[in-house]
């Protein structure tokens, strides 16, 4: 039985959900009303793209409606019936995007490394076949896969390396900006992320042809060179969302500091719990917390699996789900890394509107589970 | 400024008629204070996206506006129509019947939905795909019929509803251009299995970006809501999913515009009558008049370039564009004539191909005043008198 008196965090409030000062947002919106330029690659979107180029070190940044649309656009550049290799364990929406919207693509999977929480390089390389045209890497929890090594191996074989890099925004790996390492990289700007546009996303790439193809697909405005594309979309980001992104970008140093502070509270509060390790991101030059506190649970020492801890925290009102799911291509076969991460990983809640007291309360709830075994 | 000679035309080096562009987009601007009041509600709730109070309120108000039971909001009309096509098309079939003379991305939406467009003709008088136009395209592989309301007027609602019912086919309407209109006293939004609307900034309701679907069916509404991905969607949920959420900020804008819609229509009507007056007696350019019985929104202005007009439609547009009068072809290229990177049924549509060279949209909306319209009409009068000479000069430019 849980025994803590601290307030509970509502389960619906997970994520950064940063809210700038209302007056600052109103000021941005006033500018949009004065210009009467509401969408169609307006000045705020154009300026945001330039800032994202500077942040990532990539040559191009294409702002779009949201990350789901961004992934659809990227997959739309692949030939029909091409093969793409995806992580055996990835955010559920990625698997849904592939299965629901690209039935003609052939999908296979690669395993993850439970120590780094990133891709298992050998597993990925073993999965590559003559028809493979792309791999999708997910840079999990502010870490980074070995993208340079991967591209060196795969591009001579005609395989593009796409990466989902939301949680690693602002980081570098081997001295290069995350966003500039893959053939193309996706970043969600959903409100739950540290850097947010409320709804939105961007795709970064150094490939001018790919960037122009994405712009051609996205909308009629902002097209530099018209490229042949299989289908277009409405992939526009509005000026309103771009305005919010600018405010969020300005707040990044403060938000990162808040994350560090919340991490410190967790470190102190969870200290000494047997079988629980707080993990730092792997593969980046200066590991820093993203919007998640990632824990590995050792069942034999802690007393239950990470999945069981997640369930028990949910009962107590704390959302510790990682929302990762096994690829439908990984429901049979041997995926030890993916299964290990699925079973053992817990994300503890944190965000812009959680107080130290609330963070402490979540930590107490974890400690209560460990004591109750 | 009145043009005196050909040399005064901007396309031949003269000064532009307007410094600021005059677009064909509606771009309604509601009260900023009203918008901020709505935004403050979202702020107080601490929720800026993910199905908040403003989206719920917008859906209720739009359902009321269209006199239907349900409204489901999406991030854009594009994705709203994709959701409708994917979820409501008849299972086991692959063709979708739609006109070719319509929104330039309509076929692409079908491509995303995994359906093959089969294009039908339009009626030359109404420029819509009537039941007569659709019938020859139906077969055992037809999954859905899309009726499209044109920019001016309404689709053949009665005929299409009867045809779809007789054939047991789902009928949906692209009603993006007919938000305000009525059919026999009933609001557009009540017909077919579902109707799709846009909240893009160029439309009658500006939500920055956005779209919505109206339906009278509980089942249709529920299946559309099921398509919307949430952060906790699990793979166990079998229905098609995608992220097409409308944010609270966009809902705030759409609500503020909805508050102002009647005033906006009055302003649009003023612009329409300014064109009607300014183009009266102009030989060779025919204004497509609104049918008042449809209760139109007067959103867009379409003219037909007649055979006696001295310039081609496209040359006329080029001359106007040089003056910062951003007229556009309606529609520049029919869908069946485009290159498509997905399966579709090739066809030849002579009526559509002929109509596609004749119509143009003239500037309208909040950035265009009646005084601007007067100047645009004066320019057209000038072209009427000097068009042959302009045509010769343009032809010489193209050959040198």
3-state secondary structure of B71: strand
Tens-of-pLDDT digits for all 373 residues of chain A? Answer: 333 334 444 444 567 778 889 999 999 999 999 999 999 999 999 999 999 999 999 999 999 999 999 999 999 999 999 999 999 999 999 999 999 999 999 999 999 999 999 999 999 999 999 999 999 999 999 999 999 999 999 999 999 999 999 999 999 999 999 999 999 999 999 998 989 999 999 999 999 999 999 999 998 899 989 999 999 999 999 999 999 999 999 999 988 888 889 999 999 999 999 999 999 899 999 887 677 789 999 999 999 999 999 999 988 888 888 889 999 887 777 899 999 999 999 998 888 878 888 888 899 999 999 888 6
Residues of A in contact with B240 (CB under 8 A): 100
* pLDDT score recorded for residue B236: 60
Please tell me if residue B168 touches chain A, with a CB cutoff of 8 Å.
Answer: no
Q: How far is B184 from chain A (nearest CA, A)?
A: 33
Residues of B in contact with A321 (CB under 8 A): 232
Contact A93 B201 (CB under 8 A): no
DSSP A325-345: EE-GGGSSS--HHHHHHHHHE
Strands A89-91 and A324-326: antiparallel
* B58, B257 Cβ separation under 8 angstroms: no
Of A96, A199, A233, the CB nearest to B233: A96
d(CA A221, CA A201): 17
Residues of B in contact with A236 (CB under 8 A): 76, 209
DSSP for residue B236? T
A-contacting residues of B 283-342, CB under 8 Å? 339-342
B-contacting residues of A 86-115, CB under 8 Å? 92-93, 95-97, 100-101, 103
What region does B304 belong to: left with phi over 0, alpha with psi -120 to 50, or beta? beta
> Vertex A215, ends B343 and A75: CA angle to 5°?
50
Tell me the Cα Rg of chain B.
Answer: 22
Nearest one of A343, A346, A336, A340 to A276, comparing CA atoms: A346
Q: Lowest-confidence range among A322-326, B66-70, B223-227?
A: A322-326
* B176, B148 Cβ separation under 8 angstroms: no
pLDDT band at B127 (very low <50, low <70, confident <90, very high): very high
Residues of B in contact with A231 (CB under 8 A): 108, 111-112, 340-342
Q: How far is B191 from chain A (nearest CA, A)?
A: 25
Total Cβ atoms within 10 A of residue A316? 19
Contact A33 B250 (CB under 8 A): no
d(CA B318, CA B397): 13
Mutation target among B32, B109, B244, B247 for the A interface, most CBs of A within 10 A: B247
3-state secondary structure of B124: coil
Nearest one of A96, A184, A361 to B227, comparing CA atoms: A96
What tokens were used for B375?
A: 């100047």
Q: How far is B233 from chain A (nearest CA, A)?
A: 7
A-contacting residues of B 211-240, CB under 8 Å? 229, 231-235, 240
* pLDDT score recorded for residue A8: 47
What tokens were used for A273?
A: 């719990």
Strands A106-110 and A324-326: unpaired
Q: How far is B21 from chain A (nearest CA, A)?
A: 12
Residue B97, pLDDT > 80, answer yes
B-contacting residues of A 30-49, CB under 8 Å? 30, 33, 36, 38-40
Beta bridge partners of A294: A347
Contact A96 B245 (CB under 8 A): no
Residues of B in contact with A19 (CB under 8 A): 43, 46, 48
CA within 13 Å, CB half, B358: 18
Of B49, B79, B253, the CB nearest to A198: B49
Mutation target among B229, B243, B332, B335 for the A interface, most CBs of A within 10 A: B243
* A37, A373 Cβ separation under 8 angstroms: no
* pLDDT score recorded for residue B293: 86
* pLDDT score recorded for residue A319: 84
- In chain A, % helix, strand, coil (3-state, to 5) comes to 40, 15, 40
Number of helices (H), then strands (E), in chain B: 12, 13
Residue B80, pLDDT > 50, answer yes
How does A83-105 read in b/e, with b if 16+ C-beta sit within 10 Å? bbbbbbbbbbbbbbbbbbbbeeb
Please tell me if residue B31 touches chain A, with a CB cutoff of 8 Å.
Answer: no
User: B92 phi and psi, to 5 degrees?
Assistant: 85, 0
Closest chain A residue to B247, measured at CA: A199
pLDDT band at B233 (very low <50, low <70, confident <90, very high): low
Q: What percent of chain B has pLDDT over 70?
A: 97
* pLDDT score recorded for residue A3: 35
Please tell me if residue A72 touches chain B, with a CB cutoff of 8 Å.
Answer: yes
User: A212 phi and psi, to 5 degrees?
Assistant: -70, -35
Closest chain B residue to A189, measured at CA: B49
Beta bridge partners of A355: none
pLDDT in tens, B141-194: 999 999 999 999 999 999 999 999 999 999 999 999 999 999 999 999 999 999
3-state secondary structure of B389: helix
| CB proximity list for A332: less than 8 A, separation 6 or greater | none
């Amino acid at each position: 039985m849980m025994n803590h008196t601290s307030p509970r965090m509502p389960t619906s409030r997970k994520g950064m959900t940063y809210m700038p000062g209302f007056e600052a947002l109103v000021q941005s919106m006033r500018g949009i009303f004065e210009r009467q330029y509401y969408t169609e690659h307006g000045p705020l979107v154009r300026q945001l793209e330039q800032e994202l180029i500077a942040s990532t070190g990539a040559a191009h940044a294409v702002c779009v409606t949201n990350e789901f649309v961004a992934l659809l656009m990227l997959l739309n550049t692949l030939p029909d019936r091409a093969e793409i290799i995806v992580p055996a364990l990835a955010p559920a929406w990625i698997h849904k995007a592939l299965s629901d919207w690209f039935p003609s693509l052939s999908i296979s999977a690669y395993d993850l490394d439970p120590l780094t929480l990133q891709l298992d390089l050998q597993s990925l390389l073993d999965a590559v076949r003559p028809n493979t045209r792309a791999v999708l890497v997910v840079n999990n929890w502010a870490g980074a896969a070995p993208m340079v090594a991967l591209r060196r191996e795969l591009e001579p074989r005609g395989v593009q390396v796409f990466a989902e890099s939301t949680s690693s925004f602002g980081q570098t790996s081997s001295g290069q900006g995350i966003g500039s390492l893959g053939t193309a990289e996706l970043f969600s700007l959903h409100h739950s992320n540290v850097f947010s546009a409320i709804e939105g996303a961007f795709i970064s790439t150094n490939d001018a042809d790919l960037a122009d193809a994405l712009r051609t697909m996205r909308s009629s405005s902002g097209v530099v060179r018209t490229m042949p594309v299989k289908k277009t979309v409405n992939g526009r980001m509005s000026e309103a969302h771009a305005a919010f992104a600018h405010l969020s970008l300005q707040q990044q140093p403060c938000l990162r500091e808040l994350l560090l502070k919340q991490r410190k509270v967790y470190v102190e509060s969870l200290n000494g719990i047997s079988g629980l390790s707080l993990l730092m991101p792997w593969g980046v030059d200066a590991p820093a917390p993203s919007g998640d506190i990632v824990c590995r649970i050792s069942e034999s020492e802690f007393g239950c699996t990470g999945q069981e801890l997640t369930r028990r925290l949910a009962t107590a009102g704390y959302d510790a789900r990682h929302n990762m799911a096994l690829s439908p291509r990984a429901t049979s076969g041997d995926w030890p890394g993916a299964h290990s991460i699925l079973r053992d990983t817990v994300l503890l809640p944190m965000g812009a509107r959680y107080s130290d007291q609330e963070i402490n309360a979540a930590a107490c709830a974890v400690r209560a589970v460990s004591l109750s075994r | 400024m009145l043009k005196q000679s050909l040399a005064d035309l901007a396309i031949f080096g003269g000064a532009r008629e307007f410094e600021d562009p005059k677009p064909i987009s509606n771009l309604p601007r509601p009260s900023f204070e009203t918008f901020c009041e709505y935004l403050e509600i979202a702020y107080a709730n601490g929720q800026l996206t993910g199905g908040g109070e403003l989206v719920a309120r917008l859906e209720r108000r739009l359902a009321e506006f269209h006199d239907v039971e349900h409204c489901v909001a999406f991030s854009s009309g594009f994705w709203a129509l994709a959701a409708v096509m994917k979820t409501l098309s008849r299972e086991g079939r692959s063709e979708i019947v739609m006109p070719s003379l319509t929104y330039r991305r309509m076929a692409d939406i079908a491509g995303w939905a995994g359906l093959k467009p089969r294009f039908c003709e339009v009626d030359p008088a109404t420029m819509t795909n009537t039941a007569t136009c659709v019938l020859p395209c139906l077969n055992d592989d037809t999954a859905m019929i899309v009726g499209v309301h044109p920019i001016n007027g309404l689709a053949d609602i009665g005929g299409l509803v009867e045809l779809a019912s007789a054939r047991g086919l789902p009928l949906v309407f692209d009603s993006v251009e007919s938000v305000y209109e009525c059919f026999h006293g009933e609001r557009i939004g009540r017909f077919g299995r579902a109707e799709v609307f846009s909240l893009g900034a160029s439309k009658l309701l500006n939500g920055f970006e956005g779209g919505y679907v109206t339906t009278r069916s509980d089942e249709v509404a529920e299946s559309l809501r099921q398509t919307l991905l949430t952060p906790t969607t699990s793979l166990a949920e079998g229905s098609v999913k995608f992220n097409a959420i409308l944010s609270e900020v966009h809902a705030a804008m759409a609500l503020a515009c909805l508050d102002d819609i009647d005033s906006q229509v009055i302003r649009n009507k003023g612009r329409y009558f300014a064109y009607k007056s300014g183009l009266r007696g102009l030989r060779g350019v025919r204004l497509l008049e609104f049918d008042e019985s449809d209760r139109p929104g007067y959103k867009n202005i379409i003219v037909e370039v007649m055979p006696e007009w001295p310039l081609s439609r496209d040359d006329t547009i080029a001359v106007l564009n040089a003056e910062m009068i951003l007229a556009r072809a309606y529609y520049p290229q029919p869908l069946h004539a485009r290159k498509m990177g997905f399966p579709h049924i090739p066809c030849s549509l002579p009526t559509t191909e002929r109509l596609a060279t004749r119509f143009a949209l003239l500037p309208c909306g909040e950035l265009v005043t009646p005084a601007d319209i007067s100047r645009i009409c004066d320019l057209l009068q000038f072209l009427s008198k000097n068009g042959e000479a302009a045509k010769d000069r343009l032809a010489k430019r193209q050959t040198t």
